[in-house]
Amino acid sequence: MRLFQNASIQRKQMLAIMLTSIVALLLACAGFITYEIMSYRTELVWNLTSLAQMIGDTSSGALDFNDPKPAEDTLSALRVRPNIVAACIYTKDGSPFAKYVRSDVAAGFSVPKQEADGHRFTYGRLILFHGIEQKGDKIGWIYLESDLGRLTARLKEYAMIVIAVVLASMLAAFLLSSKLQRWLSEPILQLAKTARAVALEKNYSLRATKKNQDELGMLTDDFNAMLNQIQQQDAALQSANESLEKRVEERTQELESSLSLLHATVESTADGILVVDRKGKVVTYNGKFVAMWLVPAPVIVSRNDDELLATMTDQLHNPEGFLRKVRELDTHPDAPSFDLIEFKDGKVFERYSQPQYVKQEIVGRVWNFRDISERKQAEVKLDNLHRQLQDASRQAGMAEVATNVLHNIGNVLNSVNVSSALVSERVRKSKAANLNKLAILIQEHPHDLAAFLTNDPKGMQVPGYLVGLAAQLTQEQAEMLKELQSLGANIEHIKEIVAMQQNYSKISGLTESLAVVDLVEDAIRMNNAALVRHDVQLVREYSETSPVLVEKHKVLQILVNLIRNSKYALDESGRADRRVTVRVAKNGGDFVRVSIIDNGVGIPSQNLTRIFEHGFTTRKNGHGFGLHSGALAARELGGTLTAYSDGPGTGASFVLELPVVPKERTHD
């Protein structure tokens, strides 16, 4: 039907008439042929039954005298019936008595097994079994098999007749439909012609001519009425359009005035302003931005985003961090952003970004850049003075040194206490005391020890008891050795902390090339007992990283404190699903990142930059020294320690970044 979708209505009418005629004719022919087939099959069964009855009556005497010769002669007369394929006479007990087989099937014919009276059509054959009776008694059966060749020939004749009738009908339907369709389609074509003229000329004053009072006449009236309405609406629309154009012109003038004022305001600000759309494409920027970023004139003219971004990043001290921040905002388009960016020439800009909304939908983002180089230089000078005071205070003030030592050692002592408590508990519950009872029992039988061990019921249990006791003591020994090794590691860490604090203002400790995963596992072992005791699930996510050149005790000091802080945060959260994730991964080719991530109480945004200050803490019994000293240790190692959190109740992440080779050693 798809071939006629775009055909004219005349062709479609002719097709509908011809298809209707042909389908009706085919259905009638199919019904006639079906009736003929059923009648022929019924007639064939009746004829075959009559033939079987005649053969049975003729062969009854041969069955009585058990003489198959007359029966075979009777069956051989079936040669005059070409439709009979085979025939067979059976005795009363079902044994073949006489048979006839048509010559063309004689080679492959085998006498079928006798069946009950009846007939069936199968594989182009009609098979009939009929009983032979004499004086009311059944004395045998006759089998007749007929082909359906005559039925097939008749069907071919019917097919030829149907084809001839269908072709003649198609010709008659075509001639008749070609005459009638003009009478039916002419009003429709006239209406279509008028509609096309209206569409092409946009002349709504045209009207279709009504020729009849039938449904097409009603359609013509409705079409003309519709044209009348469209003509009136078109006139009203033209009037409204002229009025709208006038209003748009007035509003455009107002908008140009507003934009001029806005442009003057943006150009007068002290900040460099860059505006991008929701896809990050540059929309506009002010002159201050061009002056601050030293944007070349060709880039200003071309307004090429890639060239502008290259101009900006080429001037930065850390272009990767700048680009990473931009990519993070792609995944969180509704988040504001504030950070500092440093230039290679020492300039420092404040960068502030805020999403812009229209009807609660983000349409873009405005970036503000403010040059704070002078203020930053003053802050650096002030920070250097403050650091000098801190260094002097830390070297001269024994109280602060003692506080740091006690805090770091206290973290490790918790694990020491747990390990020693476990060892004491296992020693107290050890089965070794039962050896004394066993020795007393053996001493009671010094002269008949052999008979006691082999015949006495108690003595017979001694060997088995000794085997079980030995296995249990071996297990206890292994468990206590494991705890003692952990205890030794923690004590060694305490010694390193003390040595670090003692030499804080002197020569730095031993620098080693170590696998970061091994350092992390050492820190986990020092906290493992506390994590297990507080039902904290530990998840390890390790990637392959390069070894780092660091002072081992400083890294352990940072990691042990971070894992313990996560445990405290989980305790305060009250969560049942307490989880700490320790992740080790590369950060570029020169740094390794260790992340300690918990799902604890989280950190308010206003505290994210304060938690590393000396003495700042939010924990009830905290001192505010752990993260401060950890940040100092990370800086001394050439790395950084940073914190991230989406707010209270969302957990927190602490990230320690360590250089593969410290900056001062990169030339070695």
User: In the chain, what are the domain boundaries?
Assistant: 7-166, 269-370, 397-506, 508-665
Query: Is the pLDDT reported for residue 398 higher than 50?
Result: no
Q: Which residue has the higher pLDDT, 497 or 364?
A: 364
Q: Give residue 367's Cα distance to chain centre.
A: 35
Question: How far is the C-alpha of 614 from the C-alpha of 618, rounded, in Å?
Answer: 13
Per-residue CA distances from 205 to 27, 227, 644 (Å): 51, 7, 73
User: Which of 629, 641, 646, 541 is closest to 583 using CA atoms?
Assistant: 541
Using DSSP's 3-state secondary structure scheme, residue 263 falls into helix
How long is the chain? 668
Q: Which amino acid, 47?
A: N
User: Which of 528, 575, 518, 573 is closest to 548 using CA atoms?
Assistant: 518
Categorize the per-residue pLDDT at 563 as very low, low, confident or very high, splitting at 50, 70 and 90: very high
What's the pLDDT score for residue 592?
94
What's the pLDDT score for residue 541?
95
Q: Which residue has the higher pLDDT, 244 or 540?
A: 540
User: Which of 189, 190, 187 is closest to 216 using CA atoms?
Assistant: 187
Query: Is the pLDDT reported for residue 68 higher than 60?
Result: yes
Superfamily of the domain at 508-665: Histidine kinase-like ATPase, C-terminal domain (3.30.565.10)
**What one-character-per-residue DSSP string does 32-52 give?**
HHHHHHHHHHHHHHHHHHHHH
pLDDT tens figures, 152-196: 877 788 888 888 888 887 787 777 766 666 666 666 767 777 777
Q: Which residue has the higher pLDDT, 9 or 473?
A: 473
Q: Give residue 167's Cα distance to chain centre.
A: 60
Q: Given this chain, do its domains 7-166 and 508-665 carry the same CATH topology?
A: no
Torsion of CA 54, 55, 56, 57, to 10 degrees: 50
The conformation of residue 80, written as its DSSP 8-state character, comes to G
Give the global pTM: 0.33
3-state SS, 152-212, equals HHHHHHHHHHHHHHHHHHHHHHHHHHHHHHHHHHHHHHHHHHHHHHHHHHCCCCCCCCCCC
Query: Is the pLDDT reported for residue 659 higher than 90?
Result: yes
Question: How far is the C-alpha of 542 from the C-alpha of 585, rounded, in Å?
Answer: 7
Query: Is the pLDDT reported for residue 664 higher than 60?
Result: no
pLDDT tens figures, 248-287: 887 877 777 666 766 777 677 878 888 888 777 887 888 8
What's the pLDDT score for residue 147?
87
Query: Is the pLDDT reported for residue 13 higher than 70?
Result: no
| Phi/psi of residue 612, nearest 5 degrees | -95, 5
User: Which of 197, 200, 198, 196 is closest to 230 using CA atoms?
Assistant: 198
Q: Cα(first)–Cα(last) distance of the chain, in Å?
A: 83
Question: How far is the C-alpha of 655 from the C-alpha of 642, rounded, in Å?
Answer: 5
Q: Which amino acid, 24?
A: A
Using DSSP's 3-state secondary structure scheme, residue 102 falls into coil
Categorize the per-residue pLDDT at 600 as very low, low, confident or very high, splitting at 50, 70 and 90: very high
Mean pLDDT of 449-461: 77
User: Which residues are bridge partners to 88 per DSSP?
Assistant: 99, 143
From the DSSP assignment, how many helices (H) and strands (E) are in the chain? 17, 17
Categorize the per-residue pLDDT at 501 as very low, low, confident or very high, splitting at 50, 70 and 90: low
pLDDT tens figures, 131-150: 888 887 888 989 998 888 78
Q: Is domain 7-166 given the CATH code 3.30.450.20 in the classification?
A: yes
Say if residues 89 and 71 touch (Cβ distance below 8 Å): yes
The dihedral through the CA atoms of 527, 528, 533, 534 has a sign that is positive
| Buried residues in 189-228 as b, exposed as e (16+ CB within 10 A) | ebbeebeeebeeeeebeeebebeeeeebeeebeebbeebe
Q: Which amino acid, 457?
A: P
Question: How far is the C-alpha of 626 from the C-alpha of 617, rounded, in Å?
Answer: 9
Strand ranges of the sheet holding 652-659, from the earlier edge strand across to the other edge: 537-542, 579-587, 591-598, 652-659, 640-644
Q: Which residue has the higher pLDDT, 290 or 430?
A: 290
Question: How far is the C-alpha of 608 from the C-alpha of 625, rounded, in Å?
Answer: 16
What CATH number was assigned to the domain covering residues 269-370? 3.30.450.20
Mean pLDDT of 216-242: 78
| Phi/psi of residue 282, nearest 5 degrees | -70, 130
Question: How far is the C-alpha of 337 from the C-alpha of 603, rounded, in Å?
Answer: 18
Query: Is the pLDDT reported for residue 588 higher than 90?
Result: no
User: Which of 132, 136, 130 is closest to 117 using CA atoms?
Assistant: 130
Categorize the per-residue pLDDT at 223 as very low, low, confident or very high, splitting at 50, 70 and 90: confident
Say if residues 610 and 566 touch (Cβ distance below 8 Å): no
Look up residue 620 and give its two tokens: 């009830």
| Phi/psi of residue 351, nearest 5 degrees | -120, 120
**What one-character-per-residue DSSP string does 243-254 give?**
HHHHHHHHHHHH
Look up residue 520 and give its two tokens: 């992390």
Q: Which residue has the higher pLDDT, 2 or 412?
A: 412
Say if residues 583 and 545 touch (Cβ distance below 8 Å): no
pLDDT tens figures, 81-112: 888 889 999 998 888 999 899 888 878 788 88
Using DSSP's 3-state secondary structure scheme, residue 610 falls into coil
